[in-house]
């Protein structure tokens, strides 16, 4: 039954990839289509309000500057709200202002689509902050990432010198994708008993006659965009393990589909932009192959249980249920774990800190590779980056100038790609080493030995991959962790985005090279195998030593 549950979800995703990917293409292709009659008037009003007089395409530099300035304004406004939330309306529970380093970490976390939470939502934020900061940035950060991904695809596939207009893409991402989808999912969740209210905390009498306070709020609205936007920040501290956020298996599946569909459909959108659907299916096939391997690993690891408990003669027929909700069981917990880190969402319906060592290795490895579907465009951009690298390496081996989608790959593009590949492990492994060398870092570790190493490694990996999930055994709400993870999140988001936009801008300006009999094809199974090999080899060379010190060593110790 567990395998059947997983297979049904996989089948639904596979069936919806084509229609969703086609819709996304029509949104951003700037070609006239039937949706213009619905959304066009609304968008024209928004363009008028923001003063967008020209929708002409931008160079990559102007595109990058536009999204950076937009993000800076949102950061400044959001920081002020968190610092002054005790003076603002919609605070029925009397919550005070947020501490300055925590406010810095929170704002950076949500603007970078990471949603790493060093606070507990029901006690740390007012309703106004939840909506005006958290939910607002869940929309805007997702729209920013989506826009940059589409611009990158345009740079690879178009024959023009521009990569689109950021403000036009940003508005369309809201009006035609995220807001309609969030409204729909919100209504479905409310129908399935997820709370949506502005009432204050409820006080009830328990069966024992004691008084208990139950936190509520606008939960359903936040749940919808947190998954659709692959944000992941929960209204409650325990995230989607909370029965108000995720009350039953049906809501669990809805949340999985919400965070997975758009990232899974983007490769097909890329194929439509490239005028070659096989290009998109090759990328999708590589992503899905990696995903199935990781999903199988975590499912098998958790069903086998904890070896240390098995040796004690404890009934392990249900597998390792520590940290998991009974209403989901191992199948939906394992699937949720694999999807949330594959899609860089960060939402959790079980505590990753209590996964078996090999089970915990899966979300860690997915974030380290950061190409398995990814969040709003992250996985597609990174996988295409590896595709360009694979073509370059193949070209070197046969002595031919590498070409990708009719453009020659030259040293300038490879230098930028090298920066993106190197920055990711640098901002993970460097801060991890610093945390172990300082008392400020070591003081937060709650587990001795190999598991403690994994806790720290996971925190910085989650920050660098803009995922946001945590092992939750780390005492991370301190100035040291707030500042260091905040810096890692910024570098992990903006360095790679700017570098890949530069690659797109460079390729867009190049003369198109017609395909010949000697052109290395990138739309077949051979290239998919080369692409997978490139990802796995670079990932292993970069992270395997650190992984051996953490989850692998813990696994061998337990056995």
pLDDT at 161: 67
Q: Which two tokens stand for residue 467?
A: 């995922």
Whether 223 and 282 have beta carbons less than 8 Å apart is answered as no
pLDDT at 317: 64
Strands 403-404, 407-408: parallel, antiparallel or unpaired by DSSP?
antiparallel
Per DSSP, 98 falls in state P
Q: In which residue ranges of the chain is pLDDT below 70? A: 161, 315-317
Percent helix, percent strand, percent coil in the chain, to nearest 5? 65, 5, 30
Q: pLDDT tens digits for 96-114? A: 999 999 999 999 999 999 9
- Residues forming beta bridges with residue 403, ordered by sequence position: 408
What gap in Å lies between CA 202 and CA 215, rounded to an integer? 6
Neighbours of 136 (CB within 10 A): 18
Q: What are phi and psi of 238, to 5 degrees?
A: -90, 10
pLDDT at 216: 87
pLDDT at 315: 62
């Amino acid at each position: 039954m567990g395998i059947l549950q997983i297979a049904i979800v996989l089948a639904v995703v596979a069936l919806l990839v084509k229609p969703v990917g086609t819709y996304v293409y029509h949104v951003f292709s700037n070609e006239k289509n039937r949706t213009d009659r619905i959304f066009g008037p609304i968008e024209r009003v928004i363009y008028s309000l923001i003063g967008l007089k020209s929708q002409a395409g931008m160079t990559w530099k102007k595109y990058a500057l536009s999204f950076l300035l937009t993000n800076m304004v949102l950061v400044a406004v959001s920081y002020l709200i968190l610092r002054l939330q005790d003076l603002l309306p919609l605070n029925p529970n009397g919550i005070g202002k947020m501490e300055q380093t925590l406010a810095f970490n929170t704002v950076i976390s949500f603007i970078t689509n990471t949603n790493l939470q060093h606070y507990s939502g029901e006690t740390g934020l007012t309703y106004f902050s939840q909506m005006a900061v958290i939910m607002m940035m869940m929309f805007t950060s997702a729209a920013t990432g989506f826009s940059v991904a589409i611009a990158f695809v345009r740079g690879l596939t178009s024959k023009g010198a521009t990569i689109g207009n950021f403000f036009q893409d940003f508005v369309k991402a809201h009006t035609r994708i995220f807001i309609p989808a969030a409204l729909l999912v919100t209504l479905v969740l409310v129908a399935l008993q997820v709370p949506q209210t502005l009432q204050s905390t409820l006080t009830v009498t328990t069966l024992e006659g004691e008084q208990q306070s139950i936190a509520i709020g606008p939960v359903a609205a936040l749940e919808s965009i947190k998954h659709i936007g692959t944000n992941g920040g929960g209204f409650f501290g325990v995230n989607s393990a909370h029965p108000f956020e995720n009350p039953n298996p049906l809501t669990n599946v809805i949340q999985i589909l919400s965070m997975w569909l758009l990232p899974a459909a983007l490769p097909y959108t890329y194929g439509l932009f490239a005028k070659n659907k096989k290009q998109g299916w090759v990328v999708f096939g590589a992503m899905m192959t990696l995903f199935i391997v990781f999903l199988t690993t975590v499912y098998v690891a958790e069903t086998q249980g904890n070896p240390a408990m098995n040796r004690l003669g404890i009934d392990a027929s249900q597998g390792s249920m520590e940290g998991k909700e009974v209403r989901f069981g191992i199948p939906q917990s394992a699937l949720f774990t694999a999807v949330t880190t594959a899609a860089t969402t960060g939402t959790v319906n079980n505590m990753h800190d209590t996964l078996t060592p090999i089970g915990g290795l899966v979300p860690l490895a997915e974030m380290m590779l950061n190409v398995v579907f990814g969040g709003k465009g992250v996985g597609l951009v990174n996988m295409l980056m590896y595709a360009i690298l694979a073509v370059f390496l193949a070209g070197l081996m046969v002595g031919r100038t590498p070409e990708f989608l009719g453009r020659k790959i030259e040293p300038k593009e490879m230098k930028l790609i090298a920066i993106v590949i190197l920055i990711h492990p640098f901002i993970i492994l460097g801060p991890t080493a610093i945390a172990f060398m300082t008392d400020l870092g070591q003081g937060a570790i709650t587990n001795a030995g190999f598991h403690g190493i994994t806790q720290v490694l996971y925190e910085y990996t989650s920050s660098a991959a803009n995922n946001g999930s945590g092992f939750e055994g780390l005492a991370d709400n301190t100035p040291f962790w707030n500042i260091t993870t905040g810096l890692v999140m910024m570098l992990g988001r903006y360095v790679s985005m700017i570098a890949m936009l530069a690659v797109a801008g460079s390729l867009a300006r190049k003369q198109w090279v017609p395909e010949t009999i000697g052109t290395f094809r990138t739309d077949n199974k051979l290239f998919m195998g080369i692409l997978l090999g490139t990802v796995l080899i670079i990932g292993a060379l970069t992270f395997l030593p650190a992984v051996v010190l953490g989850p692998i060593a813990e696994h061998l110790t337990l056995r």
